[in-house]
Chains A and B, each alone.
Chain A
Amino acid sequence: MSPTSNNLRTTVVDKLWRNNLTFVQLLGLSPLLAVTTSAVNGLALGLATAAVVLLTNIVISLVQRAVAPAWRIPLFILVAAALVTGVDLVSNALFDDLHEALGLYIALIAANCALVAQADTVATRRPVVEATLSGLATGLGALGVLVLLGGLREITGQGTLFAGMATLFGPGAAALRLNFHFSGMLIALLPPGAFFGVAALLALRARLTQPCADSAQ
């Protein structure tokens, strides 16, 4: 039992941090750069992405043994596309303002290469439990980066954090808004600001992991 759960823990840590989709594999950058002008945008796209990765991983790992290998990826794409369409429609109905802000990027989750990478390496090859955890960890890893970058750009760009949470969680969440009493630098909200933000986060991550790499040698 213990080696298995150890294995699962490794998987989760790997997807969340060591091999984080966005930070390390640098996949799925286009939605990341386009929508992270605020924490709430990042959170919304992150939640949608995580839900889709998790659910497709579960479905495909459930049927993987019954399906010929050549069929696994096409079926994965079918399931992912249906889920994304559903998420797109339902979010349009329930979170209209947010859907307006995220625009095409919810529909584009289906084309996120991160999803297919997951399908290829995990969902079609590993047992259900591992595939589920891996999907969850991958989704949460991407979600974390989206919120982090969204928050960073929101603070530096307009001097607030969690503005507009009401569009996702209802009027009560408006109180979450933090004001930093400075007007912000516009550049952080423009496309170059997205690259500066990613660069800063990558540098920070490298700084955090570097000492471990050194001591290992």
Chain B
Amino acid sequence: MAKGESNVVLTAVVAGVLAVAAFFGVRAAYDFSHERIAMNQRARLVARLNSVLDPALLGHDLTTTRLSFSDVELLGSSTPIDVFVLSDHGQPVATVLTSVAPHGYNAPIDLIVGVGADSSVTGVRAVRYRETPGLGDMINRDKSSWIEQFRGKSLLSPARETWLVKQDKGQFDSITGATVTSRAVVAAVKNALLYFEQHRDAIYNAARETAVTEHEPDL
């Protein structure tokens, strides 16, 4: 009986020591890593933004301002989405919209669309999607260069009525075997450009105001 009781006490002591050790171990791992993880995330975001910018802007000392906008019809999401404005000494030179193509084949496709100061597309990337591997996932720049065809296009060239895939009498190539995916992306990029056209001043003004109040680290 006495032996059993001492065993309980010993068990409790060992359990307590292990619990405290586990706590401080996890704490130490967190202290070691949380700043690096934040840096990694920031580097990932910067790389993502850079991938859709006009290459001529890379290397310039730009200020990035993160804004939030919401438009179900044109940006494809009922929740607010991020809009990044890159400014050169207070002057907006590029905008990156994170828009959603709601009619992907399996699920909505998350895109980022870079738009230059002249309202033309500087680059598009698919950042999250569940398209069919081997077909629809050709929207991924690592798998095919299909998504590069938007670079340099605007609502004037080609004319906005022809922002469609060629099967629908438009100007854009579609991915063989993935017309649904291609349609969804072409429509989403067009809608992002429409949103930018309609809200350009609001976006730029918001960026200027935010940039005055909180100067974010440079890209």
Q: Which residues of A contact B (CB under 8 A)?
A: 59, 63, 66-68, 71, 75, 78-79, 81-83, 85-86, 89-90, 92-94, 96, 186, 189-190
Contact for B11 among A59, A66, A96, A186, CB less than 8 A = A66
Some 13 contacts from A to B, beta carbons below 8 A apart, are A63-B18, A66-B10, A68-B7, A71-B11, A75-B15, A82-B22, A85-B29, A86-B29, A89-B30, A89-B32, A92-B37, A96-B44, A190-B133
Known: A66-B10, A78-B19. A89 touches B133 (CB 8 A): no
Q: Is the CB of A75 within 8 A of B18?
A: yes
Residue in chain B with minimal CB distance to A68: B11
The residue from A68, A86, A94 contacting B36, defined by CB atoms under 8 A apart = A94
B18 and A78 contact, CB distance less than 8 A: yes
Q: Is the CB of B18 within 8 A of A59?
A: yes
Any A CB within 8 A of the CB of B59? no
Grouping DSSP codes into helix (H, G, I), strand (E, B) and loop, the B interface class, with mixed when no group exceeds half, is helix
| CA of A109 to CA of B113, assembled, Å | 37
A93 near B18: Cβ-Cβ < 8 Å: no
Neighbouring A residues of B18 by C-beta, 8 Å: 59, 63, 75, 78-79
Q: A90-B29, A93-B36 are in contact. List 13 more A-B contacts (CB 8 A).
A: A66-B11, A67-B11, A68-B11, A78-B15, A78-B18, A86-B29, A89-B29, A92-B37, A94-B36, A96-B43, A186-B133, A186-B134, A189-B133
B90 interface hit (Cβ, 8 Å): no
A71 neighbours in B (Cβ, 8 Å): 11, 15
CA of A96 to CA of B21 in the docked complex: distance in angstroms?
27
Contacts of B29 in A (CB 8 A): 85-86, 89-90
Chain B's nearest CB lies how many Å from the CB of A62? 10
Q: How far is the CA of A58 from the CA of B8 in the complex (A)?
A: 22
CA distance A170 to B19 in the complex (A): 35
| Distance from A22 Cβ to chain B, minimum over Cβ atoms (Å) | 25
Closest chain A CB from B142 CB (angstroms):
11
Closest chain-A Cβ to B134's Cβ sits at a distance in Å of 4
Q: Whole-angstrom distance between the alpha carbons of A89 and B21 in the complex?
A: 17
CB proximity of B65 to chain A, nearest CB, Å: 25
Closest to A80 in B: B22
Q: Which residues of A contact B10 (CB under 8 A)?
A: 66-67
* Interface residue ranges, B against A (CB under 8 Å): 7-8, 10-11, 13-15, 18-19, 21-23, 25-26, 28-30, 32-34, 36-37, 40, 43-44, 133-134
Interface of A, secondary structure class, is helix
Q: Nearest CB to that of B28 among chain A residues?
A: A86
- Which residue of chain A has its CB nearest to the CB of B40? A96
Nearest-CB distance from A61 to chain B (Å)?
13
Residues of A within 8 A of B22 (CB): 78-79, 81-82
Closest B residue by C-beta to A88: B29
The distance in angstroms between the C-alpha atoms of A81 and B25, with both chains bound, is 11
B14 and A89 contacting across the interface, CB-CB below 8 Å:
no
CA distance A75 to B11 in the complex (A): 10
Given contacts A67-B10, A75-B14, A189-B133, contact A93 B40 (CB under 8 A): yes
Question: What's the Cα separation between A78 and B133 when bound, in Å?
Answer: 39
- List chain B residues, Cβ under 8 A from A190: 133
Give complex CA distance A190, B29 in Å: 34
Q: Give min CB distance, B126 to chain A, whole Å.
A: 16
Considering the chains assembled together, what is the distance between the CA atoms of A189 and B23 in angstroms?
A: 39
Q: Which residues of A contact B26 (CB under 8 A)?
A: 82, 85-86, 89
- Set of chain A residues within 8 Å of B8, measured between Cβ atoms: 68
Given known pairs A59-B18, A78-B19, the reply for A92 and B11 (CB within 8 Å) is: no
Which chain A residue has the least Cβ–Cβ distance from B134?
A186
Chain B positions within 8 Å of A186 at CB level: 133-134
Give A3 to B43 CA distance when docked, in angstroms. 56
Q: Contacts A63-B18, A78-B19 known; A89 to B37 CB distance under 8 Å?
A: yes
B25 partner, pick from A63, A86, A94, A189, beta carbons under 8 A: A86
